[in-house]
Amino acid sequence: MKILALTLIIAISLSGCIRRSNVEYISLQPYTKITSPSVGILTPSSYPKTPFKISSIHPKAVIYLDRTIPNMMKEDIRISVESLEAGPSTLDSLLDKKFNDTFDEYYEALPLTNGQMYNTFERGVNYYKNYVDFVAGLKCKTRVESQNIAEGIGSKAYWTLCPYYDKQGNKKSIDIDYRFYFTFNQTKFEGSDNVSLRKHKFEEIQLQFKKDMQEIFDSIEIYDMDKERMEKEGLLYNKKYILETESNAKDKSLKCTYIKETDSFDCIGRETGRHCTRKRTDKDIWDCKDK
């Protein structure tokens, strides 16, 4: 097993002799171990001839992997550990056992706020779900959205946040930002001879990406977690990430139609049936009725 430790000393020494305009990348073979001060992972085993890469001037506290599989997809994965801000939040509530037990149903039924609806509407998000995942024995909240980010390129982005107590009693969260890009309309990734969706079905691309993430999630080690406290408070679970969890959650995105006579948008939840309207000029003022 190869081990790549991302330490401050390495980051400083490398950044001192490499210009940002000429960044070098390190290719990572399957099962290469990458560590930050708080967590460690193993790189996935798929497509070993197209390995994941990591920047030679990578920050010490962030694990960032990317690769482009010709004729298939581009994968971007970022893993960091952040301190939770003071004050109540949905993430902070996951460290309360009473709320933790009912969090699944609450989070999956949580409607989009007015601000979230406007944000997704403006960016052309056509798929939006949130649900619970399990990573490294922790109960985590996951949000996923999909959109066409530019002509000929589509994306699907996930954010999984997993809170825990560290050995000093601080509240922290493993923040995982992972996404894949695919192409169509004659657009090709560099090094490809076909657009993604001509070579593979979208479902194949998505499944491969999720299998890569499953390998990463199953390999995560948390170095600074107070495991004894987490176990005592019932915040550790003998569960793992499941590929099918996303498919069981409802799509909360809206399909909107502009009504010229009233200068307003009329929107229906794609799977929730939620009905929302707003004036074109009123960004955050929505009138919604749940089904």
Residue 106, pLDDT above cutoff 70 = yes
C-alpha 35/C-alpha 21 separation (Å) is 25
Residue 121 lies in a domain: yes
> Do 200 and 270 fall within a single domain?
no
The tens digit of pLDDT for each residue in 209-250 reads 999 999 999 999 999 999 999 999 999 999 999 999 999 999
C-alpha 132/C-alpha 213 separation (Å) is 15
| Per-residue confidence (pLDDT) for residue 58, from 0 to 100 | 62
| Per-residue confidence (pLDDT) for residue 23, from 0 to 100 | 66
| Per-residue confidence (pLDDT) for residue 56, from 0 to 100 | 66
CA diameter of the chain: 66
List of E strands, the chain:
3-5, 25-28, 33-35, 39-42, 52-55, 62-69, 73-83, 127-135, 138-150, 153-165, 171-183, 221-222, 254-259, 264-269, 275-279, 287-289
| Per-residue confidence (pLDDT) for residue 65, from 0 to 100 | 94
**Can you spell out the DSSP letters for 134-196?**
EETTEEEEEEEEEEEEETTEEEEEEEEEEEEEBTTS-EEEEEEEEEEEEE-TT---TT-SS-H
> Do 289 and 242 fall within a single domain?
no
> Do 97 and 238 fall within a single domain?
yes
Residue 209 lies in a domain: yes
* Least trusted range by pLDDT, from 82-96, 115-129, 221-235: 82-96
> Do 220 and 258 fall within a single domain?
no
Residue 229 lies in a domain: yes
| Per-residue confidence (pLDDT) for residue 291, from 0 to 100 | 77
Closest CA to 234 of 103, 101, 143, 109: 101
> Do 209 and 228 fall within a single domain?
yes
Residue 284, pLDDT above cutoff 70 = yes
Within 13 A of 205's CA, how many CA atoms are on the CB side? Answer: 25
> Do 232 and 153 fall within a single domain?
yes
> Do 143 and 106 fall within a single domain?
yes
Residue 114, pLDDT above cutoff 70 = yes
- Give the contacts of 26 (CB within 8 A, at least 6 positions apart): 4, 53, 54, 55, 56
Residue type, 2: K
C-alpha 124/C-alpha 165 separation (Å) is 37
| Per-residue confidence (pLDDT) for residue 255, from 0 to 100 | 93
Tokens of 54: 């990591």
- Give the contacts of 9 (CB within 8 A, at least 6 positions apart): none
Which domain, by its residues, includes 264?
254-291
Residue 133 lies in a domain: yes
| Per-residue confidence (pLDDT) for residue 180, from 0 to 100 | 97
> Do 167 and 118 fall within a single domain?
yes
| Per-residue confidence (pLDDT) for residue 89, from 0 to 100 | 78
| CA-only gyration radius of the chain, Å | 21
Residue 36 lies in a domain: no
> Do 247 and 271 fall within a single domain?
no
Q: Which residue has the higher pLDDT, 284 or 240?
A: 240
Closest CA to 196 of 67, 68, 78: 68
What's the domain count of the chain? 2
* Least trusted range by pLDDT, from 52-56, 105-109, 160-164, 263-267: 52-56
The tens digit of pLDDT for each residue in 161-170 reads 999 999 999 9
> Do 132 and 198 fall within a single domain?
yes
Residue 22 lies in a domain: no
Residue 35 lies in a domain: no
* Average pLDDT score over residue span 56-65: 78
* Average pLDDT score over residue span 175-199: 94
* Least trusted range by pLDDT, from 6-10, 132-136, 229-233, 237-241: 6-10
> Do 210 and 282 fall within a single domain?
no
C-alpha 174/C-alpha 162 separation (Å) is 5
> Do 270 and 179 fall within a single domain?
no
Residue 189 lies in a domain: yes
Residue 146, pLDDT above cutoff 80 = yes
